[in-house]
């Protein structure tokens, strides 16, 4: 048995007092909230005049603050143009939309722009179109929902995503238009944000869609359930056509010759008001940039070695378009921070701040800085004088997709990226996502932490690098030990239930998972070297990595001893009781290589695979397994077999289905999006 290593223990906080206090004093949560209020007035649909106007507003503030570069970049966007896998939406011009009930009584059900979410973006002109209303149970997004229901020349009331209902009801079955409502039970009067965003043939075949509150929908359903004929009229002045995506970039130059950058990104899109999602992230990003420029101009801090850049984008689409045109941008980035839904009054919104860490496939260390700094703020009681006195709720959220950090962290671009996201939010994607539900204290905490983090990484400080290395190593030791404890608890349960075969399987799988955690941890620790270019410091960081490697191997050896001891005690014959099933044999023999760049577009995948084949994935992609699939693809480097990929994903997430991972790669091959190399399986 090797000697037990004695790793160095970190002391104090990651960020030094001087930098922390300077950022805390300088960042204004009150000003950030005023920016939220200003941005909430813009109807910020992707590829729209409202989005461009909001970008111009931010650009004006940045120029006044004296940033080194401020520019709005524009990219063609017409519902046909592709950036990597993603079809850029057509420009939507929405002027007016009214949905009236004519029978059994006259009544306005939805009105745009009175309520900005009432008319779904992508809706097109309707000149007082009239028809009977029919309710489609089951959501209306699947062919099976329409069994025995005639919707031709009628309005369809449904709950699935607006674009899915348009495809099934309007394009395939001749419905006049659709009316959406949410199934949420918390707030019966909010109007949910649904978008059509037609592309390709949908540009000519989609019609219009309105969004109504659950209370309004229940009243309509009550009439329909009683057999009452309900007649509606839609009057819409709107159109779709060729336009542009606007991406605002600003930067503060560094002193270094290497032209490396740290990035903060925020999506600016979503309907007005869209205060927390995501005027809050855009506003915090703006206030970080403004404050940083002021600190440098006033000589309160030195200009950092590395540049700091800021992006405001239409979510996903703008990021892909920008990286398509400027492929070298990602190569410059050392790290990226995504600010998305960062302004919540957590009590009103029922929210907890999630620190979305970097994925194991593209690990980093910024999540360590944020966790340490936000814990410091919570313990010290950081508030804005204009904000609430609520105690900060936050947690390590693991890796999640769903925002622009997942674009930059994808294998094509390879940027270690962290995100800060409050979730859940009672008012998410609705007419009630108002500035009054934001909190200057929350904006101050996250904004000051982001400002301190980018400066910490951009200073090229030896002390910063060593402090972070010690803390990051400690975090990774805890992860390994927690994982072992969790697996031992599972083994105890299985043994108590007499499930020897499953125990043997867990033993062998855990060993592989521990090795995967060790590898990801080492890869993450190595990114600390980006913070200082001092050769001596980099050597010390390498020593920290070696210490961690020794620690991990020691704990893995201990687990092997525990495994052998437990197997002997309970008569578990591991080699005999663990056999490979057909799926596992396939996974071991196939090495996938993806044939596309950028994140997989699930819509493109659906079109290639067909609705029937894609039906298998629909609920999984948006129901918890989406991160498993994303991470599996990000691990697919043309070297790892599918079983190795599965083990690495399983080490990161709970309840990973190996058959789902295998099917994904087989379907990617079927659709021409991946290829396989076959390797020989080593016999057990």
DSSP string, 188-223: TT--B-------TTHHHH---EEE--HHHHHHHHHH
Q: Are 23 and 447 in contact (CB under 8 A)?
A: no
pLDDT for position 622: 84
Q: Which CATH architecture has domain 17-87+244-458?
A: 3-Layer(aba) Sandwich (3.40)
Q: Does the structure show a pLDDT above 70 at 132?
A: yes
- H helical segments located in 27-73: 29-40, 49-65
Dihedral sign, CA of 150, 156, 159, 163?
A: positive
- Asked if residue 547 has pLDDT above 60, the reply is yes
Q: Which string of DSSP letters, residue by residue, matches 393-443?
A: PEEEEE---SSTHHHHTSTTT---EEEEEEE--TTTTBTT--GGGB-HHHH
Contact status, residue 177 vs residue 129, Cβ threshold 8 Å: yes
Maximum alpha-carbon separation in the chain: 83
Residues above pLDDT 70, as percent of the chain: 98
Residue 355 three-state SS: strand
Q: How far is CA 296 from CA 107, 374, 430, 455, 462, in A?
A: 58, 24, 39, 11, 21
Q: Give 524 or 623, the one with higher predicted confidence.
A: 524
Task: Tell me, rounded to whole angstroms, the distance of Cα 311 from its chain centroid.
Answer: 16
Asked whether residue 292 carries a pLDDT value surpassing 70, the answer given is yes
Q: Which CATH architecture has domain 462-577?
A: Orthogonal Bundle (1.10)
- Please state whether the peptide bond connecting residue 142 to the residue before it is cis, i.e. omega within 30 degrees of 0: no
Section 126-148 average pLDDT:
97
Q: Mean pLDDT over residues 404-408, rounded?
A: 99
- Bridge partner list, 96: 237
Do 99 and 110 contact (CB within 8 A), yes or no? yes
The more confident residue out of 183 and 521 is 521
Per-residue pLDDT tens over the stretch 201-237 = 999 999 999 999 999 999 999 999 999 999 999 999 9
Mutual orientation of helices 658-670 and 611-621 as an angle, nearest 10°?
140
- Structure confidence at residue 439 (pLDDT): 99
pLDDT single digits (tens) 28-54: 999 999 999 999 999 999 999 999 999
- Model confidence at 579, in pLDDT bands (50, 70, 90)? low
Of the pLDDT bands very low, low, confident and very high (cuts 50, 70, 90), residue 186 is confident
Residues 634, 270: Cα–Cα separation, whole Å: 28
Q: How far apart are CA 542 and CA 538, in angstroms?
A: 6
Q: Give the pair of three-digit tokens for residue 371.
A: 């966790």
Q: Using CA atoms, how far apart are residues 265 and 530, in angstroms rounded to an integer?
A: 20
Which CATH code is given to the segment(s) 91-241?
3.50.30.30
Reply yes or no on whether the pLDDT at 553 is more than 80.
yes
The pLDDT, as a whole number, for residue 1 is: 57
Side-chain half-sphere CA neighbours of 180 within 13 A = 30
User: Quick check: 479 and 365 in contact, CB under 8 A?
Assistant: no
Average pLDDT over residues 483-493: 98
Given this model, what pLDDT does residue 476 score? 98
- Mind listing the pLDDT tens digit for each residue in 600-610? 999 999 999 99
Average pLDDT along the chain: 96
The pLDDT, as a whole number, for residue 575 is 74
Task: Please give the pLDDT value at position 7.
Answer: 67
pLDDT greater than 90 at residue 473: yes
Q: Any idea which residue has 């057999």 for tokens?
A: 227
Instruction: Report how far apart, in Å, the C-alpha atoms of 11 and of each of 21, 460, 469, 492, 672 are.
Output: 18, 21, 12, 36, 52
User: Does the predicted TM-score (pTM) go above 0.75?
Assistant: yes
CATH 3.40.630.10 positions along the chain are 17-87+244-458
Chain region(s) in the chain for CATH 3.50.30.30: 91-241
């Amino acid at each position: 048995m090797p000697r037990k290593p004695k790793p160095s223990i970190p002391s104090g906080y990651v960020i030094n007092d001087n930098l922390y206090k300077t950022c805390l004093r300088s960042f204004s949560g009150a000003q950030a909230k005023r920016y939220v209020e200003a941005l909430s007035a813009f109807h910020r649909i992707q590829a729209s005049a409202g989005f461009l106007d909001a970008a111009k507003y931010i650009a004006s503030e940045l120029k006044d603050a004296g940033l080194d570069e401020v520019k709005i970049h524009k990219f063609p966007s017409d519902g046909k143009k592709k950036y990597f896998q993603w079809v850029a939406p057509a420009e939507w011009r929405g002027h007016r939309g009214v949905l009236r009930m004519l029978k059994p009584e006259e009544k306005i059900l939805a009105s745009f722009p009175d309520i900005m979410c009432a008319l779904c973006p992508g809706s097109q002109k309707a000149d007082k179109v009239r028809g009977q209303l029919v309710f489609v149970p089951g959501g209306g997004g699947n062919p099976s929902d329409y069994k025995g229901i005639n919707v031709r020349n009628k309005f369809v009331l449904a709950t699935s995503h607006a674009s899915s209902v348009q495809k099934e009801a309007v394009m395939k079955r001749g419905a006049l238009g659709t009316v959406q409502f949410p199934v949420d039970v918390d707030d019966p009067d909010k109007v949910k944000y649904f978008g059509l965003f037609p592309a390709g043939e949908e540009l000519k075949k989609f019609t219009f869609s309105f969004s109504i509150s659950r209370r309004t929908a229940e009243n309509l359903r009550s009439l329909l359930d009683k057999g009452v004929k309900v007649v509606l009229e839609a009057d819409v002045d709107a159109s779709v056509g060729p336009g542009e995506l606007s991406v605002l970039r600003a930067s503060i130059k560094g002193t270094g010759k290497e032209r490396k950058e740290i990035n903060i990104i925020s999506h600016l899109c979503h309907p007005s008001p869209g205060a927390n999602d995501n005027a809050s992230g855009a506003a915090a990003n703006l206030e970080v940039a403004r404050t940083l420029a002021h600190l440098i101009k006033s000589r309160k801090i030195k200009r950092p070695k590395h540049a700091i850049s800021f992006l405001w984008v239409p979510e996903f689409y703008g990021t892909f378009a920008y990286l398509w045109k400027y492929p070298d941008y990602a190569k410059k980035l050392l790290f990226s921070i995504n600010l998305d839904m960062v302004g919540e009054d957590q009590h009103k919104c029922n929210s907890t701040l999630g620190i979305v860490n970097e994925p194991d496939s593209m690990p980093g260390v910024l999540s360590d800085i944020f966790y340490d700094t936000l814990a410091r703020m919570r313990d010290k009681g950081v508030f804005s004088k204009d904000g609430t006195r609520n105690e900060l709720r936050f947690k390590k959220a693991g890796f999640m997709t769903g925002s622009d950090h997942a674009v930059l962290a994808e294998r094509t671009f390879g940027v270690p990226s962290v995100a800060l996201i409050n979730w859940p939010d009672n008012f998410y994607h609705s007419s009630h996502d108002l500035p009054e539900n934001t909190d200057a204290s929350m904006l101050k905490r996250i904004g000051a932490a982001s400002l301190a983090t980018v400066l910490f990484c951009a200073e090229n400080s030896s002390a910063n690098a060593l402090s972070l290395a010690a803390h990051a190593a400690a975090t990774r030791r805890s992860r390994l030990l927690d994982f072992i404890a969790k697996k031992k608890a599972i083994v105890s349960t299985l043994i108590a239930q007499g499930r020897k075969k499953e125990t043997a399987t867990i033993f062998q799988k855990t060993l592989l998972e521990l090795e995967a955690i060790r590898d990801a941890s080492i890869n993450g620790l190595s990114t600390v070297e980006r913070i200082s270019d001092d050769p001596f410091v980099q050597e010390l960081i390498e020593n920290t990595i070696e210490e961690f490697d020794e620690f991990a191997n020691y704990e893995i050896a201990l687990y092997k001893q525990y495994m052998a001891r437990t197997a002997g005690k309970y008569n578990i014959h591991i080699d005999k009781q663990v056999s490979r099933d057909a799926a596992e044999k396939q996974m071991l023999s196939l090495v996938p290589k993806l044939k596309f760049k950028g994140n997989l577009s699930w819509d493109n995948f659906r079109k290639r695979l067909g609705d029937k084949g894609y039906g298998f994935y629909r609920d999984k992609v948006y129901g918890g397994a989406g991160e498993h699939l994303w991470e599996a693809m990000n691990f697919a480097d043309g070297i790892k077999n599918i079983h190795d990929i599965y083990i690495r994903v399983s080490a990161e997430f709970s309840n990973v289905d190996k058959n789902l991972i295998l099917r994904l790669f087989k379907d990617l091959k079927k659709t021409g999006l991946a290829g396989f190399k076959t390797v020989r399986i080593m016999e057990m």
